[in-house]
Structure 1
Amino acid sequence: MKKILTKSETIVTYLKNKKLVTMEELKLRLGTKCRMTVFRRLSKLGYISSYSHSGRYYSLKRIARYNKYGIWSYDSVLFSKYGTLKKTLEFLIDNSYKGYIASELNTILKVKVEDSLLELVKNKII
């Protein structure tokens, strides 16, 4: 059975060792069944959630090492300093010199972006 975090063992220590975790891991480590308890603790620490894997993974901003596009990859899980995939697309497109084609964005972000791009266009965001 997993050990519940004590006062001496914080989420920070746990995440520094693991780099990224799921909600279920955090609930288990904190000894709670409530997602909001976990989010309250994470929000005080400055957390990020993955834009790949349906946002299933969490880490801390201070752990991430972003590339020139603002992307951090760890164990094939992708995080963006801009937040969600849509926010990242919006930032990259708005700050590009010549723009991008979808295949270039797929390569940069290492995920399929066409559906998100279509939503951004439909909502007149880009």
Structure 2
Amino acid sequence: MAIVIELSFYRSDRPMSVKKQFGSFDELLESSELPVLVDFYAPWCGPCQLMTGILDKVSEKMKDKVQIVKINTDNYPDLASQYKVYALPTLVLFKDGAPVDRVEGVIQADQLCDRIAIHA
């Protein structure tokens, strides 16, 4: 199943995001040379909106260490089920295509950076 993913990154000290299509979620994970932090969210989720600014800070601080990806669970419920996403937001860190860390709920940028650094 093709999947359209929002990729977040920093260019010239400002956050950017682009939408890119992949043949599958596994293709996305395999195509990244960096660990991939997946933000499972929904547009109607208030705490998910809080994570946007936090993820911008993480992206800026760790731009060469992690690729941040946002997945709208309303559009991809099967993917959310596959990774047992029952609460939003849920952040899953993948390294070499496998999940290595997980956070449910809002987390501060510094704490998230520390968790990512363990696997970067």
Q: Which structure ranks higher in relative contact order (CA pairs < 8 Å, sequence separation ≥ 6)?
A: 2
Short-chain TM bin: under 0.3
TM-score (structure 1 length as normaliser): 0.23
The structure in which a higher percent of residues are strand is: 2
Higher helix share: 1
Q: Which has the larger radius of gyration?
A: 1
TM norm structure 2: 0.24
